Amino acid sequence: MGDSAVNRNYVYTNVNGALCDLMFQLLREGDEFDSRAGKTKELTFVGITLEKPWQREIVVPYRKANIAAQIAETMWVLSGRNDVAGLLHYLPRAADFSDDGLTWRAGYGPRLRNFRGADQIDYVVETLKANPSSRQAVCSIWDPTVDSTPGKDIACNNWLSFSSRHGVLDLMVGIRSNDAIWGWSGINAFEWSALLEIVAHMAGLEVGDLHFAVTSFHLYEQHWDKAEQLSQVEGNYLYSDSPRFDSLEDNMKGFDRLAEAWFNLERRIRTGQDIGSEVETFPEPMLQSWLRVLQWYWSGDVGFLYQLQNTRLAQACLVGMKPAGEPQPYLADLGQLDMGFPKPDMLAHINKLHAEKHAAYGDSWMKRGEIGILGNIARKVDRIGIGLATRDEAQADTAQDLLVYLAKYRCWLETGTGDPDEVAEVLNNLTGAHRELDFDAKLDELFSMAQTSRPSADRAKVVDEMLEASYGYALSLW
């Protein structure tokens, strides 16, 4: 990232990696000072970019984010609402930030959907449809007629600027003041990534980067211990993406129809009414998945998450908060929770399959030496990297093959062989930690080491990293 005291522009894959590193940056580089809300650590004029903003769910242990509250507040904003009653069921302290106990005067919803009669989101969608390269797809949130006067609620997020180039839509969010826990990771990264995804879909564009330009990025003293825990965690976890926004509606009036139906179901779920199969038939997958989360949230029945297994959304439920505010138990060493579903033994399946293949093909896999072994690994990495699935080899099969080839290579480095018993021992010692890894870069490193005859122990360290990451990926597909 460079010297954070000079260059405070940070680029991350998603919110999870960003959260952990930003906590580290704030604790180590932040200036300590007193604010009206207490002692803080602060970085000024910070740029944050998320390259895969649709991976918006926080799956990092220790953060204990309330995914149901993030969903409810996001829908509340996108629907143009600012009523406190709409948030109280998920954010019990919502009234504390209201001057009259009834509304948030700086609520983003009305400012985006009805700013003095203008639906700014609808304007952005139609502007991008007419001219995807327009530089005028901008929304104003700061209202000087309101925000320049004293009050409990003054807009922290101030403007949105959408920019499309080469068929890809980015969003820049301008923020005057951003608390890293309650604000940025609590709701902003979630809500604006959802808006970006919806606008991109309606305008016929791909989702690009989500950028934040923050004047004051800070951390309150009450969160310093939590931040220290987070700063020590590997923030990248490999789970399947959650359902993406995909609707036949291509304008905000259509979205409002979806939102009206969604809030009707939300109310009935929350109050324990029978909704039959209405969630199953909800016509849009992202909003449908959010309803499944609310079914789990209000009932405590993990079965409602069954169809979301191995997704970031399901994991966010399990490492987050229960309705009563009690933290969910988690297995910190795995970074993954047992959802109570029966899970076949993937390693037993892989070891059995490898033994059968070894009986048929023997040691042909190492016939051409180390470069040949690496070539086999490279082909599997390439196949996964481009998302290729042939009629006879699905992504899950490719992930398992990659895992076996890496284990065989690890054995070859150690003993010069790779029989089924040795491979099984390597696989059975994996922890299952889910980490994202640049496989192409690691392969380049291994090829270079092989060509320069670097010690086997150096190569083994790289292979061990790839083994853990590929195991996590294979598990997520399994």
Helix (H) or strand (E) holding 379: helix 369-385
Residue 371 to residue 449: CA distance in whole angstroms: 11
What backbone phi and psi angles, to 5 degrees, belong to 64? 55, 45
Residue-wise pLDDT for 412-465, tens only, equals 998 888 888 888 888 888 875 555 678 888 889 999 988 887 788 888 899 988
| Number of CB atoms found within 10 A of residue 381's CB | 21
Confidence (pLDDT) at 435: 58
In degrees, rounded to 5, the angle at the alpha carbon of residue 218 between the alpha carbons of residues 213 and 219 is 145
Residue 433's pLDDT is 54
Contacts (Cβ under 8 Å, ≥6 apart) of 309:
339, 341
Superfamily per CATH, domain 1-333:
Thymidylate synthase/dCMP hydroxymethylase domain (3.30.572.10)
- The pLDDT score that the predictor gives to residue 441 is 87
The pTM assigned to this predicted structure is: 0.71
* CA 17 remoteness from chain centre: 9
Q: Where are the domains of the chain?
A: 1-333, 346-477
Q: Write out pLDDT tens, residues 290-303.
A: 999 999 999 888 88
How many residues in total does the chain contain? 478
DSSP H or E stretch at residue 163: strand 157-165
pLDDT at position 335, please? 36
Query: Could you tell me if 176 and 138 are in contact, meaning their C-beta atoms sit under 8 angstroms apart?
Result: no
Residues of the chain scoring pLDDT < 50 = 1-5, 324-344, 387-393
Q: Which of 20, 156, 317, 411 is catalytic?
A: 156
Please answer whether residues 210 and 18 qualify as being in contact, where contact means their C-beta atoms are separated by less than 8 angstroms.
Answer: no
Alpha-carbon gap, residue 154 to 107, rounded angstroms: 9
The answer to whether 20 is a known catalytic residue is no
What totals of helices (H) and strands (E) does the chain contain, helices first? 17, 7
